Amino acid sequence: MSGRPPRPRSSARPAATPLTATARRIVRLNYGFQLLFNLLWWMPVFYAYQKDAGLSDGQIFGIQSIYYVAFCLFEIPTGLIADRIGTRNCLRAGAVVMTAANLAPVFSASYTGFLVHFLAIAAGRSLTSGAASAYLYDGLRAERCDEHYLKAEGTARALGLAAKVLCWPLVGPLMALAHPAPYVLSAVSAAGSLACAVALPRLAGPPAEAGTSPSGRKGRPSAGKASGTGGRGRSTSLGDARAALRCIASSPWLALVMVQGVAVFTLSRICQVNLFQPILLDHGIAEASHGGILAAMTVAEAVGSARPQWLGRRLTPVAWVSVLSIALAVTLAGITLGGPWTVVVLLCLFAAAAGFAYPVQRKLVNDAVPAHAPRATVLSVESIVDRGVCALAAVAVGAYLSAGRLDALLWHSALATAVLLGVFQLVLRSDVLLRVSDGGPRAAAAREPDGGTVPGTQAAPAPAADPAAPAAPTAADAHRNAGV
């Protein structure tokens, strides 16, 4: 009898744990929150809307630079707030602020009104940027369903993008009926996200920590930061900040993964938000088509976000993020060489690459955060780095556009990305990751996904294990857990 012998059960991939009722509720409410909170009806027209209100290019991109700087400043206290009052309460506060922010241009369509609008958006989004991911991650882990995180994160993003596909083409006709309609509808959507946040369940402590203190001693489970309940603990907000910074400083792998994400976030944010309309206008594409083109880009991004598993396992997750970052840079450079239809196709390819990269990068960072670290604060530090780079990029965008050098801006952005990723790969393949305090146990952070060490290095000997303490995750574990 010919044919391949059956694979032993021990080598088969274990089936995913089915979602519990609470986990299913968390996932569904997270879908609703992410969809409504990020449904900004004004996104396809805000540049032209501000131009119609009398703002110059310098004022428009100046506001964008202030927005990114404000986001960085707000991320410092809001990450601490999330770890102190609970991620669930932080999501509710962010939805309230976002609702008010979207109404500001309705009452004052001026430079001051738009500045207040973007400052409030920075506050609202900073309240949820780390808290939303931390709540979902900890919620599924508490229900022993953490293997569903990647799919839940990607599907939430895909559903939000799909909603934009349906809504954004309607912006033009709605504005013809009522000029402020995009901002009013955005406020209504934000109010809907508040309803989802209110309905989110209170979480129990993570299973790994149940009955065990961070030191490994038996005791009552904590209902603090990881649970998202907002319970008070012994540590202070300042202590959480110090713990997050110590975590990043002592974990070279976490720091490297965060730096790698800068290229993806900056390129996608600057292109899809700040440069989208200037690129189309520069190629003679009328404003009436902008909503439809942005919808097509959103479809491409939604497909990528919903199916990160299509990337396969030939490369590690960290390698995939680097490859996708290079793809983003190449499409930006290609925009300078083509006509209108080529530009539209390249923008859609750009969006698809960004869609694939986001959930993979998000899970890489979450997996690299140590179990007992203040997760929301660590994610806020990552967001500060991303927005800080975007603030500098927005200033450069304004200067390039004022000088009429859009093509040069796109080429220079592509080259800067290539240089950043080249340095990243050199560091990843060197022995820098082994040079941590006292050498010692954290040298495991330099391991490759296959369990081997970085080429040209030797793994440091592992210390004697404490049988009472939980095992610290290594970079190899983080790669394997990425599920891509």
Round to whole Å and give the CA distance between 154 and 151. 5
What percent of the chain stands above pLDDT 90?
10
Alpha carbon separation from 425 to 317, 420, 421, 459 (Å, rounded): 14, 9, 6, 19
The predicted-structure confidence for 203-228, as pLDDT tens digits, reads as follows 755 444 333 333 333 333 333 333 44
Residue 464 has a CB neighbour count (10 Å cut-off) of: 5
Q: DSSP letter at 212?
A: B
Backbone angles phi, psi at 212, to 5 degrees: -135, 130
Assessment of whether the complete model's pTM goes beyond 0.95: no
For residue range 319-361, what is the model confidence (pLDDT) as tens digits? 888 888 888 888 888 888 878 888 889 888 998 888 888 888 8
The domain made up of 20-199+236-434 has a fold known as: Growth Hormone; Chain: A; (1.20.1250)
Which one, of 146, 126, 105, lies nearest residue 37 by Cα?
A: 126
Rounded Cα distance, 177 and 37, in Å: 24
What band does 237 get if pLDDT is binned at 50, 70 and 90? low
Q: Could you give the CA distance from residue 140 to residue 19 in angstroms, rounded to a whole number?
A: 9
Nearest-angstrom CA–CA distance, 321 and 301: 15
With H, G, I as helix, E, B as strand and everything else as coil, classify residue 388.
helix
List the chain domain ranges: 20-199+236-434
